[in-house]
């Protein structure tokens, strides 16, 4: 009922604004089209596209 109302985007923008002086922000999340859309519309760039690379090690 609360999706697509801008609530999560507003909360995310508040967090990003609070830490605007932090040069690099890294987010790890599940792969799903709606998740990808949400973060890309909020200015994040996927590491599987463009010039970025990401590494992770999970035990």
pLDDT of residue 9: 96
Question: What is the C-alpha end-to-end distance of the chain, expressed in Å?
Answer: 37
User: Are 47 and 31 in contact, with CB atoms under 8 Å apart?
Assistant: no
Q: Do 24 and 30 touch, CB atoms closer than 8 A? A: no
The region, left, alpha or beta by phi > 0 then psi within -120 to 50, assigned to residue 50 is left
pLDDT (average), residues 19-31: 87
Tell me: the pLDDT tens digits for 30-58? 888 888 899 999 988 888 776 777 777 77
């Amino acid at each position: 009922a609360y999706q697509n109302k801008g609530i999560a985007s507003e909360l995310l923008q508040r967090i990003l604004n609070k830490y605007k002086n932090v040069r690099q922000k890294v987010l790890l999340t599940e792969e799903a089209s709606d998740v990808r859309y949400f973060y890309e519309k909020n200015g994040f760039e996927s590491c599987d596209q463009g010039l970025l690379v990401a590494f992770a090690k999970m035990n």
